[in-house]
Structure 1
Amino acid sequence: MKSMRILIGCETSSITRRAVSDRGHDVWSCDIEAAEDGSNGHKTLEMVKKYRNQANQKRLSQSAQARRTRT
């Protein structure tokens, strides 16, 4: 079976994430609360917002650089 990248939403117990991970998949869970087991395989809403803001900033920076090179 081919390994998949999986995101499980609305889970804080880590039970589903661990079960899917045990089958050889790259799996992360996400919720507005922290994982009950303190796992680093779990992302909270605040972390997701931070990563999204960083990605938006990078996109804006690349766009500005492209405009500067055209003029």
Structure 2
Amino acid sequence: MSPPRFPRRPRHPERVCWGCDRYCPATDMACTKERTLHPCEFFGEDWATDADHERSDDPDASPATEGRGKRLPS
């Protein structure tokens, strides 16, 4: 069974803690005392398109090395 998909634009992100795969209600969290913000609350509504755009701009990025940092000049 695969984990639930991460919602890009939830209707009420303030009602849920987004820190782990449990998605606890903000009023009854099991993992922590503070609620983790959804990326749309922290980075803005276009958080997903900005992240996708940055990844595709790097000509040296490949699926195997993407997200591991940039190459150093030789």
Considering fraction of residues, name the structure with more helix. Answer: 1
Which structure has the larger Rg? 1
TM-score above 0.5, yes or no: no
Query: TM-score normalized by structure 2?
Result: 0.36
Higher normalized contact order (CA 8 Å, seq sep 6+, divided by chain length): 1
Considering fraction of residues, name the structure with more strand. Answer: 1
